[in-house]
Structure formats: structure tokens, C-alpha cells
Amino acid sequence: MIAIACDHGAVALKEAIKAHLTQRGLEYKDFGTNSTDSCDYPDFAGPAALAVASGECDRGIVCCTTGLGVSITANKVRGIRCALLSDIMSARLTRQHNDTNMMALGAGVVGEKLALEIVDIWLDTAFEGGRHQRRVEKMMAYEGK
Ligand code: RB5
């Protein structure tokens, strides 16, 4: 189950991602927003991140105009490692090396085609473990400090 959320700046991108996930046979839980009326991105990215942190959802994808606000919000939640992505290489490496459980996209930064390619690579790439496990553990030791 994939948590998905956006603010008013990325509703169309969220809909495109939802359609893509459905096409792939993947389930999602939509945390909103579903309107282009101005809203506050933490109200949507926060609950999506909590759902990933609690285990209700396996991964999360959050979107806003830049991807910044939603990624920063998600990374405030204990247990979340959210990568703001705009290229294919980072999508792959953040799974292999950082074991990210959430990703963020900026609807004003990446076009829909690239966004969906990034989603696919991020979803399909496994964590490598090994020395990266040690680094992730050191990273997470800073949580809450
Ligand atoms: C909303 O105007 C904009 O600030 C938001 O979508 C996001 O880009 C914030 O980081």
C-alpha cells in the first residue's frame, strides 16, 4: 500500500501517479488534497508520512509545487526518510543507499513523464544494505536531536 498526498500545486500530478499505480496493479491510499484551492501542505504530507511510519502503508509519495514543503514535512516524522527527486539516477541511488521510504516530487519542477519514470525506478529498486545499512543507522541516530 502506497500513501500518496499533495497540496493544491500538485493535484494533477497526484492523479497521474494514482492512475499509473493502478495501471501497475499497485494499491494506494490517497491522503488528499483533492482540490486546487489553496491549502497547507503539512495537512496532507504529515498524515501520509504517519501512515508510512506506523506501517499502515509501505511507502509514500508526496508532491507539491517544488516538492520541498512536503519532503521537509515528511522528514519530520520519526522513521521517515524522504527524498526529493528530480532525476533518474537519484531515484535509484536513494533506494540503494538511503533506503528511503518516501519520495517527493515538485509538480513545477518535473514533467509528468519524468515523474512517472522516477516513481517506477524508486518503487522497483531494492536497498543494498551492507555498508549502507551502517550509514542509514548513523543517519537515523540523529533523529530527534
Ligand atoms: C505552495 O504555494 C508552495 O509553497 C508549495 O506547493 C510547495 O512548493 C512548498 O514547498
Give the tens place of pLDDT for each residue, 27-72.
Answer: 999 999 999 999 999 999 999 999 999 999 999 999 999 999 999 9
* Banded model confidence at residue 26, pLDDT cuts 50, 70, 90: very high
Q: Is 64 designated active site?
A: yes
DSSP SS3 for 77: coil
pLDDT > 70: what percent of the chain? Answer: 100
Q: How far is the CA of 74 from the centre of ligand 1 (A)?
A: 14
**Predicted structure pTM score:** 0.97
Q: Is the peptide bond preceding residue 100 cis, with omega within 30 degrees of 0?
A: no
Place of cell 492523479: 15
Q: At 106, phi and psi to the nearest 5?
A: -100, 120
Cell digits for 101? 521510504
Q: With a 6 A CB cut-off, is 68 part of the ligand 1 pocket?
A: yes
pLDDT for 9: 97
Residues 14 and 133: their CA atoms lie apart, in Å, by 31
Peptide bond into 33 cis (omega under 30): yes
Q: Cell numbers at residue 37, please?
A: 484551492
Q: Check if 41 has its Cβ closer than 6 Å to any atom of ligand 1.
A: yes
